Structure 1
């Protein structure tokens, strides 16, 4: 499975932040092991992509060593269209908010791509417009924060009146003091939500861009379509099943049945069983894998073992402990102590 790829523009934003602080990454001791790789990435075209894991390592180190937990927001304040590549220019040259959002949904792979990339959805609920996507894994929290903040800040440059943000929803826990979020977004920011989402007023869709350019849009659209056509096709059926089971565990705090997941994926139970068989897997294997991942997340939240067992559909704590030992090779108590030691300074 190909690793998630993120825009090289994000590395450029990171470097811009350092330069504006009077810092040179090549002289920072904590970045010594990464200097050559950073030099290479920063020389690549801004609209190409690099592995997320590398970006995550650099981002975490910089946040910690420079004592800047709000780094993602500081980087987002420096966003320009080119940092999102052709999609950034398409959003800038769109005629309206509605058109820009349609292109973002359609061509999001040009910004973030890989087998773990989650498709965006746009839909209306009453007088609200939702641009949302599913939770995948807490390890992508900083990436979601970076992308969400960058999109909002770029929108402020494109639409002078600014789309009316009703709230921002994040599926993970806060990564910095909450006042940083409130100050940046200027609206309510909710955490530990079922999905990631921008929620805005329906009237925002008709807002016009001061930079709209229909002629240039045709050229950009052709370029985007050609770039998407060159993207690899991922065998994502198994990942979709895993994601649906993970979402069900998070939202309902109970283990799903196979027919419930089939309904979520809009296929018959028989079709889902056949797909899993063709992929040399089974619903039992998928469910057990996602239960254990969810168990890890709940352990990190200091949830009691009894409650974890209940949320994951085990008969009792002992049944959970046996399943975890069989899956990971260590006991729940050992893992809980491990997590406790890691969280202590």
Structure 2
């Protein structure tokens, strides 16, 4: 499993903020524990990959030293396209917000990368669109907060005098600082402890134009971005990605993922998804049952009734769970539940 890596642009953005306050990130006493790591990154290219933990550490130390709970919102005031590297320049040279969103979805690996990466998805509503992605772990909370704030501020920078037309911002975790700081920065509806992170934009805002649009330069940047993505190692096969998404959905939502939802998450048509799984000798139905059985094995070790397990695995009732489990493993649920007790004697 490849840990999440982030673009050096995040470190550069943080360093720009410190310098705006006449603080040298390489000589500040409160950052001395990170000096060796920072020396190899400060003033280096934005596309260098940085461990996420370093960003978490320096932001925490800075927030504590400056006694600044709203640090993230102050940092992003320094945002410029170059902090997102090639993707940032592409955004600044795009012709509309709609085009920018398309490039963010397509090239997000240039900014945040790793096998834990959850791809951005787009959901259409009647009067708005939602750019959303799933919650992973608490250690990614700061990265998600900084990324959302940076995207919003960069959008404002690109549009200049035009409003971004935000409808709402969704956070999968609870706020760790006073909500008033979020309200002051976003000036829109905020929702916390949601199933996913999301930026919701009014459909009227999708066609907002940038005065900096440059179609010819944009084509060159797209080719550069495609080359950088192609040079990176493949993260997960379609099969591995599908298995993880199905398992995560069972764990987080206690519902079986539908094939339409899986195809949408993978940015594939249903037919293409079926073909790719068939090439690997499996199918969506087989994958779903395999992940249900794995989850069932874990739940059987806990003090949970069989009817509760059936509900958590999205079976109609306990009998349906029992039949599916016997068909998949050749054992009954009671035989498996007794097994750990026999092993402990």
TM-score tier after normalising by the smaller chain length? 0.7 to 0.9
1:151 & 1:164 partners in 2: Cα distance?
A: 13
- Would you say the 8 A contact 2:11–2:42 is kept in 1? yes
**Structure-1 residue corresponding to 2:229:** 228
**Structure-2 residue corresponding to 1:154:** 154
| Cα offset, 1:240, TM superposition | 4.4
Q: Does 1:219 align with 2:216?
A: no
Deviations 1:179-232 (A, max 9, x none): 111111110111111111111111111111110111111111111111111121
Deviations 1:98-142 (A, max 9, x none): 111111111111111110111111231111111111122221111
- Would you say the 8 A contact 2:13–2:79 is kept in 1? yes
| Cα offset, 1:155, TM superposition | 0.7
Gaps of 5+ in 2: 264-272, 319-336, 341-345
Q: Label 1:291 to 1:62 Cα distance change in 2 as closer, same or farther (>3 A).
A: farther
**Structure-2 residue corresponding to 1:329:** none
Q: Does 1:271 align with 2:272?
A: no
Q: Does 1:77 align with 2:87?
A: no
- State the TM-score, normalizing by the size of structure 1: 0.76
| Most deviating of 35-44 and 232-241 | 232-241
1:242 & 1:118 partners in 2: Cα distance?
A: 10
**Structure-2 residue corresponding to 1:246:** 248
Q: Label 1:263 to 1:198 Cα distance change in 2 as closer, same or farther (>3 A).
A: closer
Deviations 1:296-319 (A, max 9, x none): xxxxxxxxx99xxx799599xxxx
2:41 & 2:174 partners in 1: Cα distance?
A: 30
Gaps of 5+ in 1: 296-304, 316-322, 327-345
CA RMSD of aligned residues (A): 3.3
- Would you say the 8 A contact 1:47–1:82 is kept in 2? no
- Would you say the 8 A contact 1:246–1:290 is kept in 2? no
| Cα offset, 1:25, TM superposition | 2.7
- State the TM-score, normalizing by the size of structure 2: 0.76
Q: Label 1:196 to 1:210 Cα distance change in 2 as closer, same or farther (>3 A).
A: same
Number of matched pairs: 296
